[in-house]
Amino acid sequence: MVSRWAFSWVVLVWMLASCGKEEGTREQMVDLAAVAVEDPAKQLVSLSEAIERSKRDGSLYARRAMVLLRQNELDKALSDVDEAIRLSKDPANYFVKAQVLYLMGRREEALPLALQAERNSFESSSLYVLLTELYLDKREYAKAAQFARQALELSPDDPYAVYYKGRVSEVTGDTAVAINHYHRALEFKPDFVQTHRSLAGLYLAQLDLAQARKHTEQGLRLSSEDPQLWHYKGMLQLQSARKDSALVSFEKALALTDTLQAAHFQLAQLRHGLGENELALQHLEKAPRYSTDLKYLSVRASSLERQGENLAALRTYERMLAIEPKHTYARQSVARLRYRLERPRPQLDSMAVRQRGF
């Protein structure tokens, strides 16, 4: 499932079928949480009553789908937008369905629908942002860059368009341009959590700890349940040698999402340092992305050895040597464990055996 913050850039399209290809379809991307035109419950009642009176009006189903989407009732939203498409082939309906599928985590299904809306002349910065995100997810960076550029050309003051232009720059290695775009997005939308998160990560990688700390704290003030920001906070605490505090931050990150491999990797090292070898190994199992990292292998081998699993520890140290043949600690550990495993077992004294009647 797509994380909750993804809703913040999904556009709210009110006049779908009635707008068609007119200027009204060129909506700005908005924060759904900030849209308060009418109470959603009242909207649903009004739209449901209108649908009862006019069951063949596809625009009503599409509008109700968007309200349901904003309420995170995605299954109901999908049912309504399917009915809207059955009744009307307005390209905006395909865009709405693409948004619903994206938020359901069904990205492969969302992409062709978003492209169908784009090919049928539905022009919207939020559509181009969605296409940018979908192509970033597929690592097709040239296409992502194309749609990010279109979003920005259509809406140069749209913070989401600016942000996604930064995202493309970041993943293609131009971090300086990415940082500039992120800061520009914040000028338009200071409470833009995703941008604070992205800046915190980039500044942390550059060891600009003051800026990393600034954006991490600002991001957490805006969204205290953001796991990535808690991870960054933990990394900053490690930089300040505050291991106990870092451990708490990484645990908080994983309480919010257990799939954050970077936090598992850091916790494995901290637990190993505390002598909690079983916990260290459990966290390593959940961080396979780091399984060729020498630190990962070192913590795994040492934890296994401490638990008496000498053969498994030996094989892990040998993997370290395969990656780095000059690794002194791994070489010494391999020699130590081979001797321990291969040394002859002490034999019973023959006189003692005879006395026992053997």
Question: DSSP characters for 260-273?
Answer: -HHHHHHHHHHHHH
For residue 342, the model assigns a pLDDT of: 87
Closest listed residue to residue 13, CA positions, set 27, 2, 34: 27
For residue 248, the model assigns a pLDDT of: 98
- Using 50, 70 and 90 to split pLDDT, how confident is the model at 39? confident
For residue 345, the model assigns a pLDDT of: 64
User: For the chain, what's the residue count?
Assistant: 358
As a whole number of angstroms, the distance between CA 256 and CA 259 comes to 9
Task: Give 133's contacts (C-beta < 8 A, 6+ positions apart).
Answer: 102, 144, 164
For residue 347, the model assigns a pLDDT of: 58
Using N-to-C axis directions, what is the helix angle for 74-87 and 91-103, rounded to 10°? 160
As a whole number of angstroms, the distance between CA 313 and CA 37 comes to 62
Task: Give 101's contacts (C-beta < 8 A, 6+ positions apart).
Answer: 78, 107, 109, 110, 113
For residue 129, the model assigns a pLDDT of: 96
For residue 42, the model assigns a pLDDT of: 87
Residue 348 has pLDDT above 80, yes or no: no
Q: Which domains does the chain have, with CATH numbers?
A: 1-123 (1.25.40.10), 134-187 (1.25.40.10), 271-344 (1.25.40.10)
Provide, rounded to the nearest whole percent, the portion of the chain with pLDDT above 70.
Answer: 85
As a whole number of angstroms, the distance between CA 58 and CA 247 comes to 53
For residue 40, the model assigns a pLDDT of: 83
In this prediction the pTM is: 0.81
For residue 48, the model assigns a pLDDT of: 87
pLDDT digits (tens, 9 = 90+) for 70-111: 989 999 999 999 999 999 889 999 999 999 999 999 999 999
- The rounded mean pLDDT for the chain is 87
- Using 50, 70 and 90 to split pLDDT, how confident is the model at 25? very low
Comparison of pLDDT for 357 and 155, the residue scoring more? 155
The two tokens of residue 271 are 């637990």
Closest listed residue to residue 10, CA positions, set 85, 61, 65: 65
Three-state SS for 70?
helix
Contact 77, 99 (CB under 8 A): no
Comparison of pLDDT for 345 and 332, the residue scoring more? 332
As a whole number of angstroms, the distance between CA 124 and CA 13 comes to 10
For residue 2, the model assigns a pLDDT of: 43
Residue 135 has pLDDT above 90, yes or no: yes
For residue 84, the model assigns a pLDDT of: 92
For residue 343, the model assigns a pLDDT of: 79
As a whole number of angstroms, the distance between CA 79 and CA 82 comes to 5
CA distances from 213 to 35, 54, 192 (A): 31, 55, 16
Comparison of pLDDT for 263 and 55, the residue scoring more? 263
Residue 9 has pLDDT above 90, yes or no: no
For residue 36, the model assigns a pLDDT of: 39
Contact 80, 99 (CB under 8 A): no
Residue 27 has pLDDT above 50, yes or no: no
How many Cα atoms sit within 13 Å of 212 on the Cβ side? 21
Mean pLDDT of 301-316: 96
38-47, 253-262, 343-352: the lowest-pLDDT one: 343-352
Helices (H) and strands (E) in the chain, counts: 20, 0
Contact 192, 202 (CB under 8 A): no
Comparison of pLDDT for 304 and 32, the residue scoring more? 304
As a whole number of angstroms, the distance between CA 323 and CA 112 comes to 42
Question: What distance lies between CA 145 and its chain's CA centroid?
Answer: 20
